[in-house]
Amino acid sequence: MEESESRGYRFGAFRLDPHERVLLCNGLRVPLPRKALELLLLLVAQPGRTLSKIELMDALWPHRAVHTNSLLVAVNALRSALSTRMLGAQFVETVPRRGYRFVGAVQRTAAPLDTPSPVPRPGPRAAAQGAPEVFVGRTRELQQLLLLFEQAREGRGQLALIRGAAGMGKSALVRCFARGLAEGGHTARIATGRCLESHGSSAAYLPILDALAGLLAGPHGASLEAQLELHAPGWCESFPELFADGGSHRAPSLEAASRESLPWQLARALSAWSSAQPVVLVLEDLHWADPSSLDLLRLLCAHCRTERLLVLGTFRPRAPGLSGEATPSESALEALSACALSELAHEYALPLLALVPLDLTELVSYLDACLPENELTPSLPELFLRKTGGVPLFAARWLQVLRERGQLAQRGRWVLARDISELEGSAPDSLEAVIRHGLAHLPTTIQQALAFASVEGDEFRTCVLAEALPGSTLELARELAELARRDGWLVHVGQEELPDGVLTERYRFAHVLYQNVLYDGLSRQRRISLHRRAALTLEAHGCGRHSRFLAELAWHQERGRRFSRAVATLISAAEHAARIAAPREALLYHARARTLLAQLPQSEQPTGLQLLHRQQELPVPAGL
């Protein structure tokens, strides 16, 4: 294709660089399938002139016989990309029985498209650090997030919610947004905190503590620590593990701590801290949020409206189809979180970004980005859309399966090694099935290690896993690192120090559905024995004496059927929750302990009852 001598073109809100092959809309990169971009280059170089179908097909597919449908697919992809971003404006006109022409004013520009995209897609820097994360579509959502950030920077903060089913791309969206802020030169302090599905769901402030730990370990950690000491002494006292020195240098300021609730203290500390630079808190998977975190969110809804604080909360809808109905597997806590979130959204008219599946154009861009230099039939993206429903995680895993099976092969260019009808027949029929297919491809020892890891939860530690597996710990560590680096099953979270001083690596399943599938595949007996082993390992590392581990330890003890131990741990957890004024968590632990007591043999009941009695003597915290 002949390139224009000029450096680029402008039309409407778009800028097109033929050399870099980049299309921007209001500074944001517009993903376009390769052929659609080439078509645009042809049309825009001769605005107003009708280019015949033959002429276009010869230019786009030289020396290849292709069906005219291919041209139509490219035209449709181009039209849809341009019109959704320009509210329906049409640039590509059909000239009946002749061809297509570009309508609208085109300006040639000599300068390169040097305007940095405020929310760029993963760039070469990301690629240099390892496999770049492919991210397509979601332009509207990214623009919305950028707008919210700009408002927060001006002191009009918000809590915004991002809703989408499992695997719909909530985490990928916030990651892309956060990376875009950094790459776009925006100064912001960004942290992510996660709610955990398993044991964590009743541990007070879990996602907030996770986010604070990230911020405190970051480059501005010292200034945050100073603000917490000043405005949130209750946090310093209740969560000493947040601080590198274990909070030892801090004089407890009980008077200040009791004057204001923990949520208020934190809100004040964040206000003071964000005056220097805006703060973005991403709280992931709020459908598993603990009651204290939900209380804090409620407070932040009102509080951050005059602050430089943007809180982004991701959550799953309660039931597929967004009907709002509970699913049979939904826990009481999930139902509670869902109600609290919808109440908040309604009461404060919170911005809600509802993620929908990727469409055909976006899937075309996705396949083009994952398989650069390809010669794939246009019916492949259509098949992807039909089989995966456009759910990004489903599409990503199926693509990986096709590569691993050699059904997609790189022969100079990526090609389909089988007939498309064969793919149609062998395609997995659900997201869970495609995850199982992918797991089956891994070596048996790795499959076994991951299945054991799933017992720990969506996050796991190598030291616990090593206890349950034969073979050397070193070999295991190497295999896990490889799995995180190469195959995308795991994410390395970091190192963790256990109460006895032992350092262990911590990993997370790249998606919680992987953990769900693996855990579901274990027999009941196997689960019990592995939970028991996990409980014993944690006990041996002193986790029963440390508040941070109590919820998790009790969960393993209960599932490992060490009920007597579990009751004792739950009572300690309830006492801790009451001490930090987290009354609802205290009650949840208490209720769980009561249920378990009923399962204890008669001989152990008195001890359990004594423990419960102790708990009942605790003052019921204010607020209940």
Ligand X SMILES: Nc1ncnc2c1ncn2[C@@H]1O[C@H](COP(=O)(O)OP(=O)(O)O)[C@@H](O)[C@H]1O
Taking contact as CB under 6 A, which single stretch among the options 4-12, 76-84, 392-400, 403-411 is the one that binds ligand X?
A: 392-400
Specify which residues 95 forms β-bridges with: 99
Nearest residue to ligand X, scored by beta-carbon proximity: 169
381 binds, among ligand X, Mg ion, none (CB under 5 to 8 A by kind): none
Contact yes or no for 401/442 (Cβ under 8 A): no
Judged by CB under 6 A, the residue of 36, 82, 168, 333 near ligand X is 168
- CB closer to Mg ion, 307 vs 458: 458
Neighbours of 65 (CB within 10 A): 6
- In whole angstroms, the minimum distance from the beta carbon of 314 to ligand X comes to 6
Residues 6+ apart with CB under 8 A from 598: none
What per-residue string of b and e applies to 366-392 under the rule 16 or more CB within 10 Å gives b? bbbbbbeebebbbbbbebbbebbebbb
- Report residue 28: phi and psi, to 5°: -100, 140
- In whole angstroms, the minimum distance from the beta carbon of 131 to ligand X comes to 10
Up-side HSE of residue 114: CA atoms within 13 Å toward CB?
A: 5
Taking contact as CB under 6 A, which single stretch among the options 71-79, 135-143, 225-233, 235-243 is the one that binds ligand X?
A: 135-143
| Cα–Cα distance for residue pair 79/461, rounded to 1 Å | 49
- CB closer to ligand X, 170 vs 186: 170
CA trace torsion 484, 490, 491, 492 (10° rounding): -60
- DSSP E strands: which ranges in 456-533? 459-461, 490-497, 503-509
Q: Take residue 482 and report the two structure tokens written for it.
A: 């490889």
Judged by CB under 6 A, the residue of 79, 170, 179, 186 near ligand X is 170
- In whole angstroms, the minimum distance from the beta carbon of 5 to ligand X comes to 35
| Cα–Cα distance for residue pair 120/354, rounded to 1 Å | 21
452 binds, among Mg ion, ligand X, none (CB under 5 to 8 A by kind): none
- In whole angstroms, the minimum distance from the beta carbon of 446 to Mg ion comes to 23
Taking contact as CB under 6 A, which single stretch among the options 130-138, 318-326, 342-350, 422-430 is the one that binds ligand X?
A: 130-138
172 binds, among ligand X, Mg ion, none (CB under 5 to 8 A by kind): ligand X
- CB closer to Mg ion, 330 vs 604: 330
Query: Binding-site residue total for Mg ion (CB under 5 A)?
Result: 2
Up-side HSE of residue 369: CA atoms within 13 Å toward CB?
A: 22
Q: Render 222-245 in DSSP notation, one character per residue.
A: HHHHHHHHHH-HHHHHH-GGGSTT
85 binds, among ligand X, Mg ion, none (CB under 5 to 8 A by kind): none
Judged by CB under 6 A, the residue of 14, 135, 239, 384 near ligand X is 135
Q: Are strands 408-411 and 413-416 parallel, antiparallel or unpaired?
A: antiparallel
Among candidates 307, 310, 390, 495, which has minimal Cα distance to 136? 390
Q: Render 82-145 in DSSP notation, one character per residue.
A: HHHHTTT---EEEETTTEEEE-S--EEESS---SPPSSPPS-HHHHHTSSPPP----HHHHHHH
| Cα–Cα distance for residue pair 571/596, rounded to 1 Å | 11
* Torsion sign, CA atoms 283, 286, 290, 292: positive
Among candidates 284, 53, 70, which has minimal Cα distance to 161? 284
- In whole angstroms, the minimum distance from the beta carbon of 397 to ligand X comes to 8
- In whole angstroms, the minimum distance from the beta carbon of 234 to ligand X comes to 32
231 binds, among ligand X, Mg ion, none (CB under 5 to 8 A by kind): none
Task: Report if residue 171 touches ligand X, rule: CB under 6 A.
Answer: yes
Contact yes or no for 159/313 (Cβ under 8 A): yes
Residues across the chain: 624
Cα–chain center distance at 417: 33
Task: Report if residue 136 touches ligand X, rule: CB under 6 A.
Answer: yes
Among candidates 375, 377, 383, 419, which has minimal Cα distance to 399? 383
Contact string (CB under 6 A) for ligand X, positions 505-544, x = contact: ------x---------------------------------
| Cα–Cα distance for residue pair 172/134, rounded to 1 Å | 9
- CB closer to ligand X, 103 vs 376: 376
Judged by CB under 6 A, the residue of 78, 82, 142, 172 near ligand X is 172
- CB closer to Mg ion, 170 vs 565: 170
- CB closer to ligand X, 398 vs 563: 398
- CB closer to Mg ion, 171 vs 361: 171
Helix (H) or strand (E) holding 541: none
Q: What is the CA radius of gyration of the chain?
A: 27
3-state percent helix, strand, coil for the chain, nearest multiple of 5? 55, 15, 35
* Torsion sign, CA atoms 7, 9, 10, 14: negative
- CB closer to ligand X, 8 vs 118: 118
Residues in 171-200 at the binding interface with Mg ion, rule: CB under 5 A: 171
- CB closer to Mg ion, 329 vs 525: 329
Judged by CB under 6 A, the residue of 106, 119, 190, 393 near ligand X is 393
Q: Take residue 466 and report the two structure tokens written for it.
A: 């090593």
Among candidates 589, 582, 590, which has minimal Cα distance to 624? 582
DSSP class of residue 354 equals E
- CB closer to ligand X, 118 vs 544: 118
Contact string (CB under 6 A) for ligand X, positions 454-493, x = contact: ----------------------------------------
195 binds, among ligand X, Mg ion, none (CB under 5 to 8 A by kind): none
33 binds, among Mg ion, ligand X, none (CB under 5 to 8 A by kind): none
Task: Report if residue 164 touches ligand X, rule: CB under 6 A.
Answer: yes
- CB closer to ligand X, 135 vs 398: 135
- In whole angstroms, the minimum distance from the beta carbon of 189 to ligand X comes to 22
Task: Report if residue 366 touches ligand X, rule: CB under 6 A.
Answer: yes
- CB closer to Mg ion, 170 vs 576: 170
- CB closer to ligand X, 145 vs 172: 172
- In whole angstroms, the minimum distance from the beta carbon of 170 to Mg ion comes to 5
Up-side HSE of residue 244: CA atoms within 13 Å toward CB?
A: 9
| Cα–Cα distance for residue pair 447/74, rounded to 1 Å | 42
Taking contact as CB under 6 A, which single stretch among the options 49-57, 85-93, 128-136, 570-578 is the one that binds ligand X?
A: 128-136
Judged by CB under 6 A, the residue of 166, 204, 345, 464 near ligand X is 166
- CB closer to ligand X, 206 vs 588: 206
169 binds, among ligand X, Mg ion, none (CB under 5 to 8 A by kind): ligand X
Site for ligand X, rule CB under 6 A:
134-138, 164, 166-172, 366, 392-393, 396, 511
Instruction: List interacting residues with Mg ion (CB under 5 A).
Output: 170-171
